[in-house]
Structures are given as C-alpha cells and as structure tokens.
Structure 1
Amino acid sequence: MKSLFDIREHFENLRQLLLWTLLVIPVGILSGSASALFLWSLDRSTELRWQYEWLLFLLPVAGVGMAYLDQWIGKSAKGGNNLILDRIHEPGGGVPTRMAPLVLFGTLVTHLFGGSAGREGTAVQMGGSLASAYGRLCKFGAENTRILLMAGVAAGFGSVFGTPLTGAIFAMEVLVIGRMQYGALIPVMVASLVGDYTCSAWGVHHATYHISISDPEHLRALLDIPLLGKVALAAVAFGLASKVFAELTHGLQIGFGKISPHAPVRVAMGAAVVIGLVYLLGTRDYIGLGVRSSHEGAVTLLSAFEAGGADVWSWWWKLLFTAVTLSVGFKGGEVTPLFFIGATLGNTLAVLLGAPVDLMAGVGLVAVFAGATNTPLACTIMGIELFGSHYGIYFAVGSFIAYYCSGHSGIYSAQRLGVPKNSSSKLPPDLPLRDVKTLQNASSRKAKSRDRK
C-alpha cells in the first residue's frame, strides 16, 4: 500500500516551487523598474502637455513619425498585448526585446501630444518583452518561457497600478475566458509582488481612490439589498458600455483601414478627429490619461467619485476619444480609460438610481474593466485592493454581471474562449476571440440564406 506521504513527491513540489520563485524574481525586478520609469516619464509628459497646450496641434505629426518608426523597426512587436497572449498559448516564438522601448516611447508620445490612452498595455508589454529577453538569455525551455511571460504580465500589471494580487489573478484569468489554470499561481504571484515592491522602492506613488460611506462595517454586516439591486441594474449598463468600447474600437480600426491602407495616413486622420472633438466640445478633459487635470473643475477619474464630478455624457466622450486614438495605431493601454468610463458612468447612474456616488463610481471602475477584459475575478480583487474589503460583494456583483452582459467581445482578440457565456452558444473550445465574430457572422449568413429558401 502506497504511503499517504510520498516524501519524494513533496520534495519535488518544494524544489519546483523554489526554482520558479528564483526564476521569476528577476522578472519582477525588471518589470517593476520599467513601470517606475514609465510612470515617472508619464507624469513628466502629462505636465509638459498641460504647460504647452499647443502640443495638441502636433499630434498628427507625432503620430505619423511614430507610424513610420513602427514600420521601420516594429515588425512583430506591433502585435502588442495580443502577441504576448499568443506566445503564452503557443510558446516558442518569443516576444521581441525591442517591444519594451518601442511601446514606452510610443505611449509617452501619445500622452505628450494629447492622445487618449492608458498605461496598462505599456506595462504589460514591457513586462512580457523583458521576461522573454531574460528567458532567451538564460536559455530556458518553452514551458519555463511560458511561465516567465505570465510572470511578466503579472509584474507589469501589478506594479503599474499598485495591485499585486490583482496582477497575479489577471495574468492567469485573461488567457482563457471562463477557465483558469492554477499551475503558475506561485510564480506569477511572486513576480507581481516583487514588481510592485520594486516600483514602490523607486519612490513611485499610485493614485488613491476613496469611497466614503459613513459606516462601511455596518454596510458589510447588514447587506443593503436595495442598494445591491441598484448595483446589479447598473452592472448591466457597465457590461454594455464594455461591449460598445470593444466593438467600436475594432470597428473603427477596420473602418480607418478601408479608408487608407497606409498606417501614417490613418494615424494622421485619427489625430485630426481627436483635435476636432476637443474643439467641438470645448474641453480637454477627455485627452491624455484622465486621472487628474491642471484645470479646476475638470472631469477626471478622481472627480467622478464626487457628486457633480462628471457630466451625464462624460463616459461616452472618453470612450469615443480613446476608441479613435487606439484604433488608428497610437500606443497606450485601454484600462485607465476604461476606469474613467466606468467611474463617470457610475457617477451618472448613481444620480438616476439614488445610490451613493462614490460607491457606484468604484463599482463602475472595476465592472467596465471586467466586461472589456473578461476578467471578473481579477476585477473583484482589484476593487478590494483599491477600496477595501467592506464593499467586496458590490464589486463582485458588478464585475460578474458586467462580464456576462458584455457578451463574447473584448479588447484582447487573442483571448481564447474556454467556456461560452451562455449555454446556447455553439462555439468550439479554445477559439481565439478574434475568430468568434467571424464564426458568428458566417452562421448568421447561413441562417438568413436558409430562411430565404
């Protein structure tokens, strides 16, 4: 009879755990340092744009220069986050080292001259690129390289937002919709923690958000069912906003591509649209990162947590500005704009539903992100890391309902579909999200053809 305690098995588990821990610590240090450099540079770029407002008029010129640089040396690095996800699913090709400096430079250019973008994509791509370079240098095998790439994603995400637990969960959850593999849990957790600690050790500070309900302990002890119902109702809107953002961004990318096959022309057209929108609305609140502003009374991510801190359509304008900016090829992430969209939409819905503005803004912040990235668990954890565990149930309800209501869409086309969101979906397993729409359109055409017959 086999012993209940197999010493060799436990020893092998501990050996592998120690190996992975030592393996990913350099990834965390590299990614955290890169995030610190990026966040510091991003603040300087934003302050320069505030000081010299005429820089906005150079956005087309900057975009054209960036497009030519991409064509010259970008090559496969232009794949961005989707390239990293593809390499995790099918290790072997690796991620080019040039991705890190290119995405760093490109994102700073976007923010300096007034494009609307975020920072998550930059941090994740730098983390993945540096992790891949480290793996090639040390000649690690394909499976270890896969873990290194996941660790780079976790460290980049966790360090750029100051949410290490979220970074680890996100790196595992984002790969396959509806299914998580826990085999890499320890290394991605270690990498995310090291990355966040390293970023903080460089003296970089993250934005702080507050929900100021008077008695959060009482709120958690005696669950407010009517408030939970309002959160659930708002979550439907958050999910639909996520879907609109993802579909509009992809649609504009196709539309601009049909207008011109040349990347420099497309980016110049998109920049002109952004400048036109700024002067059509008479405000610069929706360009740049959007977390804070140099103008008193501006709509920002932070102001969305206050009554009157957002206009009714602030969420839509940020959505449009960001979709145009990213669809034509400007560099940057989607997540911080998604935070802005969710928080300002939550601000508007709070007034309509008679709910606390700050709580609804916080739920919107994580829920729109959950719907757009198909990562409801990571977003629930993010809500807890950013705002505290008192509101955990509201973040969970908001994130999971938004996830279901966003349908089979998302900002990462390389995500695989593990478990369909509804049982009637006859979609093959592990289908990349980029192919889901194609398959659905083909099925719809066949159905219409049968109906005509």
Structure 2
Amino acid sequence: MLATVVQWLVLATIAGAIVGTGTSFFLHGLFFFVEGTASVPLWVQMILLPVGGLLNGLLLYYGYKANKTGLKDSVIEAVHTQSGKMPFKTLLIKPVAAIITLASGGSAGKEGPCSHIGASLASGIGRVFKLNAELQKRLVACGVSAGFSSVFGTPLAGAIYGVEVLAIGRIRHDFLFPAIVAGVVSFEVSKWWGVPYTFYKLLPLPEFSEILFLKTVLIGVICGVVAWVFVDMIALVRNIFARLKARFGLWPPLLPLFGGLVLSALILVIPTEYLGLSLPLMDRALDGEAMPYLGFLWKTILVAVTLGSGFYGGIVTPQFVIGAIAGSAFAPMLGLSPALGAAVGLVAVVASASNTPIAAILMGVELFGGTLGTVYVAGAGIAAYLIIGHRSVYPDQLIAYSKSSWMVVRPDMPLGQEKVYLSYGFLRWWSKFKQRQGPQYWRRLVAWVRRR
C-alpha cells in the first residue's frame, strides 16, 4: 500500500504539473482571442458566427480525417473501451476549435478542451512510462481531473468530477487518490502561470430551518427540470442537423456554418450577452441581481444550436450559467434571496445534467465557502440529480446503477441504449389494468371530457 501511495504521488504529480501547464497556455490564448472580439458591433457578430462555424467544420473534418489510429478522442471512451489510450496527434484540434467557437461568439464552455488536453497529455505520459492498461486508465482519469481543476480553481471538485463522470451511480475509489493529487498540483501550477480565478461569498444566511431547506430542494427540483430541457434540447438539435446531413447529403463542414447562420438570426431577438461564455450573467445572478424567467431558455437554445450544429466547446460552463440564472429567477417565488437561489441552481444543474452530484456539491463548497449554504446546495443537487433520470450531456456515460428502485437496468449499459424494466409488481398490476380496467377507464375518461 505504501508503494502504491508513492507510485501515485509521483505519477499524479507529474501529470498534474504537465496538464496544468498545458491548460494554462490554452486558457491564456482563449482569454486573449475572446477579449479581442468581445465588444464588436452586432453586424460584425452576425458575420463572425457563420465564419467561425465554417472554420470549426473544416478543422474538425480534416483534422480527424488524419487520425489513422482508430482511437476515439472521447475521454469516457478512453477509460471504458480503449484501455486509457487517446489519439495524441489530434491533441490540439479541440482546443483550437474551442477558441474559434468562443471568439466568434458561439455559446459554449471552456472546460471541455481542458479535460481533453488533460486526458491526452496523461495518456501520452502513460505511454512514455509504458504503464499497463489499468494504470493507464487511472492516469487518464487523473488528466481529466487535473484539466477540470485548472479551469475553475476547484481542485477537490475537479478531482471527483473526473472520476464520477465516468458512470452514473458509481465512483471508482481506486481513482480518487491520484485524481486528487493531480487536481491540486494542476490548480497550483495554473495559479503560478497566472490563470485568474473567481470565488464567491454568499450573503449571511439565517439559521437552519426545515422550511428553508425544503424550499431549496424545490429549487433543485425546478433546476432538475431545467437541466432536463437543456439535455433534450441539445439532443434534439443534433438530431435535426444529422437528419439534414443525411437527407440532403451535406458536406459535414457546412453544418456548423448553417448553425452559425441560425445563431446570427437568433441574436436579433435574444440578447448577445447570452453568447460566448456568458460569465458576467452568472456573476450578476450570484451577486443577487434578479434574472429573467426565460433567461435559462435563451442560453439553452444558443448552446443547443452551437454544439448541436457542430461547433466545438465545453458543456459545463453553460450549466453554471443556466443554473445560476434559473435559480435566481425562481427563488423569489419561494421567498428565497436571488443570490442563494443562484448558488443552489448552479450546483443543481451541474449535478443533474452531468450526473455528478458529489462533485457539484464539493464545487459549491469550494466556490462559495464551507458555510451553512452547503446544506442547502446538497439537498438541491441530489433532488435535481434524481429528477433528470437517466439523461446526460455526455452520451458516452454508462449506467452503473439505476437512480430509482422503480426501475432496474443492466449494469454498465450505455445511455440511450439501455432497456429500463419496471419492477415486477408494477408490471403485473399494469398488465391486469390493461386487460380488465383499461378499456373501461379510457371510455369513462373520454365520456367525462365530452361532458365538460
């Protein structure tokens, strides 16, 4: 056991230092280009979006055409089916594509490229040290954790996120120690490279009460539904563009170009502040400013069109923004402060859309401080995680265990391919209902509607 601790102290420290350096260079480049296009006029923005879409399409199409290894660059796939191997030659494609997306105004996040950089660099380190398949998997998970920690300045939450995101309902405890070491080292290295981080302080909260706790759980339920809409909207737009491609035989690089044209039309009615990272919106919500009820929907639509049409970018930062906006907007309806609602909503949407409730709760602790608010964000996060069911922004996620005793799934089945079986008792009741009472019930229901 001591040898294992020493082994991972060395390997995870090396991985964290290299990943922290790589992600820091990416973040500085991203900030430089995004700031350069942040205040362009509307007509320039409407030109940048389709141009950025075309550049994205060309880069991703020709870049991945050169990948002859047969390996996918999905982090989750690398751990589950590729023995921790990533195609190293395509390392820079996604980071460059993300810079193009965000600099042109596409609505996406910055953490996806960092997780990709982390996994790719960690995979390369494993090959240099000639690690076996099991150690290689752990090192790639370390890289994901390190990349995530470097983005938001949340080393503990980032470490857990990189492990928890692999499967719904299961955490590999043997991944935790190296992931935490890599996350802390990456965070410290990124600070040394001058990456800026923002932390928030919640307003003083009243003493704990069950009523206040139940209200925050209700916010979590609402945000679980918001996350549900977010996940399904992205899937819907992806399906629409895939059908357009199949129907008309479109050249793949043209899809994000069309997506950019759609975004250009949408910003004629949706404020441009919902484009890009939209972090100022999140900051305002966490400062207690009231947000519009449909703000989360505007951000959801722009993110869905951006990512669904073929732009590349992260998927977690939009969850932060959507959660903060939704929580702030709906909190006053329940007698809660908008700031507390924003903090609770942020955690709840990340917990549900990514299926990472533990990482989301820890993120709330690291971003907002270990205060009484932790109790409230925890209840909301778990409630939202349950409400969304077996849906995720990561199609490669596996279902290790069902979220409900009403449903039984085969372990480690991919999302979208799972067969969900209701409990035997319920099936028996439903069968009898259909045979004996079903027809009569429907006839009575139709007669009642007609009478009304």
TM-score where L is the length of structure 2: 0.88
Cα–Cα, structure 1 residues 56 and 78, in superposed 2: closer, same or farther, change >3 Å? farther
- CA deviations on 1:206-255 (whole Å, 9 max, x unpaired) are 12323112xx4xx4xx4122211111111111111111111111121011
Query: Structure 1 CA distance, aligned partners of 2:192 and 2:46?
Result: 34
From 1, 4, 8, the counterpart of 1:20: 8
For 2:347, give the aligned amino acid.
V
Q: CA RMSD in A?
A: 2.4
Mapping for residues 277-296 of structure 1, pairs under 5 Å:
277-281=266-270, 283-292=271-280
Query: Structure 2 CA distance, aligned partners of 1:303 and 1:79?
Result: 45
Mapping for residues 93-108 of structure 1, pairs under 5 Å:
94-108=85-99
Q: Does the alignment pair 1:63 with 2:44?
A: no
- Report if the CA contact (8 A) 1:107-1:332 is conserved: yes
Query: Structure 2 CA distance, aligned partners of 1:137 and 1:129?
Result: 13
Equivalent residue number for residue 130 of structure 2: 139
Query: Structure 1 CA distance, aligned partners of 2:21 and 2:279?
Result: 22
Percent identity for Structure 1 against Structure 2: 33
Cα–Cα, structure 1 residues 226 and 93, in superposed 2: closer, same or farther, change >3 Å? closer
Cα–Cα, structure 1 residues 166 and 138, in superposed 2: closer, same or farther, change >3 Å? same
The alpha-carbon deviation at position 327 of structure 1 amounts to: 0.8
Query: Structure 2 CA distance, aligned partners of 1:373 and 1:93?
Result: 21
Instruction: Count residues in correspondence.
Output: 419
Query: Structure 2 CA distance, aligned partners of 1:185 and 1:58?
Result: 42
From 362, 369, 394, the counterpart of 2:343: 362
Equivalent residue number for residue 339 of structure 1: 320
Equivalent residue number for residue 227 of structure 1: 212
Query: Structure 2 CA distance, aligned partners of 1:169 and 1:111?
Result: 27
The alpha-carbon deviation at position 384 of structure 1 amounts to: 0.4
Mapping for residues 2-17 of structure 1, pairs under 5 Å:
13-17=1-5
Equivalent residue number for residue 237 of structure 2: 252
- Report if the CA contact (8 A) 1:97-1:133 is conserved: yes
- Report if the CA contact (8 A) 1:315-1:345 is conserved: yes
From 221, 224, 233, the counterpart of 1:239: 224
- CA deviations on 1:322-341 (whole Å, 9 max, x unpaired) are 01101111111111111110
Q: Does the alignment pair 1:38 with 2:29?
A: no
- Report if the CA contact (8 A) 1:74-1:98 is conserved: no
- CA deviations on 1:357-401 (whole Å, 9 max, x unpaired) are 111100101110110011101111110011012111111101100
Equivalent residue number for residue 180 of structure 1: 171
Q: Does the alignment pair 1:314 with 2:330?
A: no
Equivalent residue number for residue 393 of structure 1: 375
- Report if the CA contact (8 A) 1:266-1:328 is conserved: yes
Query: Structure 2 CA distance, aligned partners of 1:117 and 1:79?
Result: 27
The alpha-carbon deviation at position 306 of structure 1 amounts to: 3.7
Cα–Cα, structure 1 residues 128 and 80, in superposed 2: closer, same or farther, change >3 Å? farther
SS state of the match for residue 50, structure 1?
coil
Equivalent residue number for residue 7 of structure 1: none
The alpha-carbon deviation at position 203 of structure 1 amounts to: 1.1
- Report if the CA contact (8 A) 1:158-1:192 is conserved: yes
Deviates more, 1:62-71 or 1:138-147: 62-71
Gaps of 5+ in 1: 1-12, 293-299, 442-446
The alpha-carbon deviation at position 155 of structure 1 amounts to: 0.2
- CA deviations on 1:111-163 (whole Å, 9 max, x unpaired) are 11110000111111110011111212222211111011010011001111100
Query: Structure 1 CA distance, aligned partners of 2:177 and 2:186?
Result: 14
Equivalent residue number for residue 152 of structure 2: 161
The alpha-carbon deviation at position 80 of structure 1 amounts to: 11
For 1:352, give the aligned amino acid.
M
- CA deviations on 1:380-424 (whole Å, 9 max, x unpaired) are 111001101211111110110000001110011111111101122
Query: Structure 2 CA distance, aligned partners of 1:345 and 1:223?
Result: 23
- Report if the CA contact (8 A) 1:91-1:143 is conserved: no
SS state of the match for residue 115, structure 1?
coil
The alpha-carbon deviation at position 196 of structure 1 amounts to: 0.4
For 1:430, give the aligned amino acid.
D
For 1:427, give the aligned amino acid.
V
Q: Does the alignment pair 1:193 with 2:193?
A: no
For 2:185, give the aligned amino acid.
V
The alpha-carbon deviation at position 205 of structure 1 amounts to: 1.1
For 1:153, give the aligned amino acid.
V
For 1:369, give the aligned amino acid.
V
SS state of the match for residue 279, structure 1?
coil
